[in-house]
Amino acid sequence: GDPAVGLLLGELIVAFAGADLLTVAEPGCSSDYLEDAPKLEHVHTLLAFLIDQTALTQNTDAEQSSSYVAKLVTKSSYQAADSPSYLEIRGRAGLVLGHLAGSLKPPVRLVLWPMLLQTLVNPAMRVGLPVLCRAVTQILTGAKVEPEGKVRNELALSLRPGRERSTQPEALLMWLLVCAHSPHETVGLGLHVLRCLEALSPFVHRILGEIWEAPSRRLQTLCAYLEESGAASRLDPSFWAAALSQEVHFFLSALPEHDDL
């Protein structure tokens, strides 16, 4: 396979988004429009490929380039020496995902949002968490300025248990906290996880939303510590573990049913 496929598709997805070719037809559209509109499965495949690229590593490079979408465009004129590294591909995928998250139209957002949440709790995508968390935070920040809270209600549906393609809020909270215990494992991991938790907190639990309501002084203090430490070698593991445990304890102690746990 050709490692440049990730970069090529990144450019393609940006062009598609600009031309509204990622906008899936909404229910009630005319039959003529439905026939010409992008198909949900095609949009889903492109977005899934893009998300996968955010966690690309040297070991998975060959696997990623042999996927269905990669095979679609793998016949290119690039030579091996000109091929980008997996870090370049991952970086470009992050930029494209950030572009989409910051300028999504509702139909595209409804496709990408549940995919992002499901990817956040996938251990195989841990390397891509900084980018994925940033995209989630961008979407939630944009939803705050939307009128009447309609967008936030739509986003909340993907965290409602029992719904198709929903993500369990408890699982999301616990996994992000686990990843936050190693904040410098990947560049920016801890900072983006904490900011994502701050934005997601009202969707996870009402009380957690009250505790971590943005801008959360509690989480901002932790973020400032990470920025000052700068690297794993300057992080005090005992202090950091205790600080995260304190946040969990503070949340649990605020629950009405805490005494029965």
- pLDDT score, position 171: 94
Task: Please give the mean pLDDT across all residues of the chain.
Answer: 81
Q: pLDDT by residue (tens digit) across 202-249?
A: 999 999 999 998 888 999 999 999 998 877 788 999 999 999 999 999
Q: How confident is the model at residue 76 (pLDDT cuts 50, 70, 90)?
A: very low
CA dihedral 66, 70, 75, 79 (to 10 degrees): -70
Query: Lowest mean pLDDT: which of 32-41, 67-76, 152-161, 197-206?
Result: 67-76
Q: At what angle do helices 217-229 and 237-254 cross, to 10 degrees?
A: 170
183 close to 193: Cβ distance less than 8 angstroms: yes
- pLDDT score, position 154: 86
- pLDDT score, position 59: 62
Q: Tell me the CA distances in angstroms from 73 to 9, 55, 70, 175, 207, one per residue in order.
A: 8, 20, 6, 35, 48
Q: How confident is the model at residue 180 (pLDDT cuts 50, 70, 90)?
A: very high
- pLDDT score, position 3: 55
Per-residue pLDDT, averaged over 177-204, amounts to 94
Q: How confident is the model at residue 82 (pLDDT cuts 50, 70, 90)?
A: low
Residue 112 corresponds to which tokens in the numbers above?
């990408």
Residue 111 pLDDT > 90, yes or no? no
Q: Is 67 left (phi over 0), alpha (psi -120 to 50) or beta?
A: beta
Q: What are phi and psi of 84, to 5 degrees?
A: -75, 155
Task: Work out the angle at residue 176's Cα, subtended by the Cα atoms of residues 172 and 181, and round it to the nearest 5 degrees.
Answer: 155
pTM over 0.75: yes
Residue 5 pLDDT > 80, yes or no? no
- Of 185, 3, 152, 154, nearest in space to 76 by CA: 3
